[in-house]
Amino acid sequence: MISEQTSTKVEACKDMLRTEEAIFFIKDYFGKKLAAALNLVNVSAPVAVLDGTGINDDLNGVEKPVSFPVKGIRDQKAVIVQSLAKWKRIRLKEYNIEPGKGLLTDMRAIRPSEELSPIHSVYVDQWDWEKRITPSQRNIEYLKQAVMAIYQALRATERALFELHPEYVPVLPENIYFIHAEELLREFPDLTPKQREMEIARIFGAVFIIGIGAALSNGEPHDGRAPDYDDWSSPNEDGYKGLNGDIIVWNPVIERPFELSSMGIRVNEEAMERQLLIQGCTERRNLLFHSMLLNHELPLSIGGGVGQSRVCMFLLRKKHIGEVQSSIWPESVRNNGGGLRLL
């Protein structure tokens, strides 16, 4: 006779396997929808790049990557990628991608500086994409078109998952709401940036906050951004600064705003010069990526990343990101007594 404890373990294993199958479906389906929506071709991506080239990203400007010496090239230091924004732009040039087309990678990154939480892990997996654009497309309208294409791919994935697994009832609204970080500050002047995100996401269900990185009228940015990939300082046609932003949805399971994507039109020569000066890191001009850009050797582009584990966590109604990915967690999280089953 099977004990109740054994039966519970068997059901837990079955549930994790069903979750794994659903994760594979989501990643495959959304990846194809994203590529079709933005006219992207899949390419392979590096796990590490050489240090000192400026190719790896420091995200908010303070995160430190994992580094290691490479014996085969005289112990030259390499770093595990944290994002591929700059690497993808160089690839657009190397592959001679024409305007209107782009690249899609399956990125795997390690971010050791990440504060662990139910929605943050040191392991990051995302659909990382980059698309070549023309000078006339460096505007808010083109940015919004890309956001809407990504959002509709996400909604299509949610509906397809529901057809296979009716327990996952769609919750995303039909359209995504656009608001600039300065408008959001004026709407909720007494709240912190995260509290403002809480309010706007709760009201609209899905929102794209424009202008992440530049100082707002209160002297503070909505959130940090490195100076050398997204353009967060150029004036836009809406009368504010910035050609970038974040896709945020309301997560009904954890009852909080949930960022799914960070993206934007990338810096041109003028924007990067300005942003390097603002953040006090003009010495980067001499790095490989930065010198290529300043020498007009790189194409104009728009790009971003969509979190794979974040999307799976949201669509599968999970409370912890460890339920949809294998990563490193302290014992207090693994054995929290709350029935949490980390993959």
Active site residue 111: yes
Q: What is the pLDDT along the chain (343 residues), one digit of tens a residue?
A: 555 555 555 455 577 788 899 999 999 999 999 999 999 999 998 888 888 777 776 544 455 778 888 888 888 888 888 778 889 999 999 999 999 999 999 998 888 878 888 999 989 999 999 999 999 999 999 999 999 999 999 999 999 999 999 999 999 999 999 999 999 999 999 999 999 999 999 999 999 999 999 999 999 999 999 999 999 999 999 999 999 999 999 999 999 999 999 999 999 999 999 999 999 999 999 988 999 999 999 999 999 999 999 999 999 999 999 999 988 888 777 666 444 556 5
Q: Tell me: the pLDDT tens digits for 230-279?
A: 999 999 999 999 999 999 999 999 999 999 999 999 999 999 999 999 99
Catalytic residue among 233, 246, 266, 309: 246
> Does the annotation count 76 as an active-site position?
no
CA 209/CA 226 separation, integer angstroms:
17
Domains of the chain: 10-174+263-272+281-334 (3.30.930.10)
* Residue 57 confidence (pLDDT): 63
Annotated catalytic residue within 121, 126, 137, 308:
126
Q: Which of 51, 183, 259, 273 is flagged as catalytic?
A: 259
Please indicate whether residue 126 is annotated as part of the active site: yes
* Residue 262 designated active-site: yes
Q: How is 39-107 classified by DSSP, letter by letter?
A: TEEE----SEEETTSS-S--TTTT----EEEEGGGTTEEEEE-S--HHHHHHHHHHTTPPTT-EEEEEE
Active-site residue (options: 111, 138, 155, 225) = 111
